């Protein structure tokens, strides 16, 4: 129902969820500011107010697992929350002028979200005691003004919005991969007719449901973070190589694009992934390499008559072109 005539309802609901989330963020900020000024306490107490107590890190073992966190384990927990910046690109077919809207939308999404994250970190870390931040898992609602209910509703609405966004975009990607036979073992998800994504929708729902079975998303967020970082590493590596060898089919329209920026992004993402979990990153990279070997060996793309160019072909093309130009100049 999400895909068959339901796309416009998902878009409408996303606007409603965004409005509720924006209000909850406003109430959260107002509550924290009033708490700092001493005008409002919410569900907290006066002794929960402590200025500059969180200037330096104070890690403590997890009371349930006994594991002592560090900066990288904390980064793995919060990183999935900042990956929604690319959600707009998944709806490129709904944009009137994607070439103009995507760069502008990405820029303002980065500026807005970064400002909100920094303000939340600064305000709550500056005014609320370290013990309260560790014990009260919903401190943003506890300090909300005029009541904590809008923030709780906003969090629920945000989760629903993220799920609907995933269920409206991920099945389309999986169905396209299955239809093009990029991964032959996903052929059972191939659309039965044009626009059919039912099988891919159920497949996506099953994956989302399995991830919630442990009962604590903290157990899976580190792996989600690694997958995101490896995906961004792949994108940066592809644009870096393409920008350096300049294949005919690669024509970036962004005015300030340079391959060196993509190289820095590749090194940065891979470095973060290994710092978070070198074993998990190694296993993930190994699985990607095995999957690539599987795709190459299956020869399914050649059997259906579809030919996909690779960056390896672009590199060889660039080497041959450079050699021929050198010979022509020396002749």
For residue 4, pLDDT beyond 90: no
The model carries a pTM of: 0.74
Structure tokens at 325: 């130009």
Where in the chain does DSSP place strands (E)? Answer: none
What lies within 8 Å, CB to CB, of 265 at 6+ separation is: 232, 233, 236, 240
pLDDT of residue 85: 65
128 strand-pairing partners: 49
Measured on CA atoms in the order 245, 232, 119, 29, is the torsion positive or negative?
positive
CA within 13 Å, CB half, 15? 5
What residue has token string 């169905």? Answer: 175
49 strand-pairing partners: 128
What is the C-alpha to C-alpha distance for residues 85 and 109, in angstroms, rounded to an integer?
A: 6
Structure tokens at 316: 């060889």
Helix (H), strand (E) at residue 263? helix 259-276
Higher pLDDT, 237 or 2: 237
For residue 267, pLDDT beyond 90: yes
Structure tokens at 99: 């070439």
What is the C-alpha to C-alpha distance for residues 151 and 316, in angstroms, rounded to an integer?
A: 55
pLDDT digits (tens, 9 = 90+) for 113-153: 888 888 888 888 888 888 888 888 888 888 888 888 888 88
What is the C-alpha to C-alpha distance for residues 136 and 140, in angstroms, rounded to an integer?
A: 9
Please, are residues 191 and 178 in contact by the beta-carbon 8 Å criterion? yes
Higher pLDDT, 60 or 325: 60
pLDDT digits (tens, 9 = 90+) for 87-118: 666 666 666 777 777 777 778 888 888 888 88
For residue 82, pLDDT beyond 70: yes
Please, are residues 301 and 308 in contact by the beta-carbon 8 Å criterion? yes
Q: Cis peptide before 146, with omega less than 30 degrees from 0?
A: yes
pLDDT band at 3; cut points 50, 70, 90: very low
Helix (H), strand (E) at residue 212? helix 198-212
Higher pLDDT, 83 or 132: 132
Structure tokens at 270: 């891979």
pLDDT digits (tens, 9 = 90+) for 162-200: 777 777 777 878 888 788 777 777 878 888 877 777 888
pLDDT band at 266; cut points 50, 70, 90: very high
């Amino acid at each position: 129902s999400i895909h068959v005539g339901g796309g416009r309802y998902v878009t409408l609901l996303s606007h409603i969820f965004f409005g509720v989330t924006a209000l909850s963020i406003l109430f959260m900020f107002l509550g924290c500011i009033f708490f700092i000024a001493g005008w409002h306490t919410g569900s907290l107490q006066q002794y929960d107010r402590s200025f500059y107590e969180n200037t330096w890190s104070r890690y403590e073992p997890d009371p349930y697992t006994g594991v002592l966190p560090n900066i990288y384990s904390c980064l793995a927990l919060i990183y999935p929350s900042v990956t929604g910046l690319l959600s707009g690109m998944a709806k490129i077919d709904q944009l009137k002028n994607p070439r103009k809207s995507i760069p502008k939308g990405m820029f303002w999404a980065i500026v807005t979200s970064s400002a909100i994250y920094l303000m939340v970190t600064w305000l709550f870390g500056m005014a609320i005691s370290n013990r309260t931040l560790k014990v009260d898992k919903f401190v943003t609602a506890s300090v909300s003004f005029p009541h904590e209910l809008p923030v709780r509703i906003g969090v629920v609405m945000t989760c629903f919005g993220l799920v609907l966004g995933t269920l409206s975009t991920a099945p389309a990607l999986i169905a396209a991969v299955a239809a093009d036979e990029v991964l032959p073992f996903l052929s059972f998800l191939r659309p039965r007719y044009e626009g059919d994504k039912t099988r891919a929708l159920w497949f996506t729902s099953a994956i989302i449901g399995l991830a919630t079975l442990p009962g604590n998303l903290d157990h899976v967020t580190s792996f989600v973070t690694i997958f995101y970082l490896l995906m961004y590493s792949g994108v940066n590596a592809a644009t870096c190589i393409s920008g350096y060898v300049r294949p005919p089919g690669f024509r970036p329209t962004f005015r300030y694009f340079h391959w060196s920026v993509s190289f820095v992004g590749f090194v940065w993402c891979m470095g973060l992934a290994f710092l978070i979990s070198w074993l998990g990153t190694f296993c993930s990279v190994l699985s990607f390499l095995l999957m690539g070997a599987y795709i190459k060996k299956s020869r399914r793309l050649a059997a259906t008559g579809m030919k996909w160019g690779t960056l390896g072909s672009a590199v060889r093309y660039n080497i041959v072109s450079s050699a021929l130009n050198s010979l022509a100049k020396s002749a």
